Amino acid sequence: MYGQPAYGSPMAPMAPAPMYGSPMAPAPMYGAPMAPPMVAPAPVYAPPAPAYYPPPAPGPTIITIGNTGGSNQTQCNSCGRPTDSIPRKKVGPVAIAWCLCLLFTVGFYGLCLVPLCSDNCKDTQLVCAKCAQIKATISANCC
Q: How far is CA 47 from CA 41, 42, 53, 126, in A?
A: 18, 15, 18, 60
Strand partners, 87: 126
Query: Looking at residue 67, what is its pLDDT?
Result: 53
pLDDT band with cut points at 50, 70 and 90 for residue 60:
confident
pLDDT band with cut points at 50, 70 and 90 for residue 44:
confident
Report the amino acid identity of residue 125.
Q
**What ranges do the domains of the chain cover?**
93-143
- pLDDT tens string 110-143: 888 888 888 888 999 989 888 888 888 888 887 6
Q: Cβ distance 127 to 134 under 8 Å?
A: yes
Contacts of 126 (CB under 8 A, 6+ apart): 74, 85, 86, 87, 88, 134, 135, 136, 137, 138
Q: What is the pTM of this model?
A: 0.46
Question: Angle at CA 51, nearest 5°, toward 48 and 55?
Answer: 160
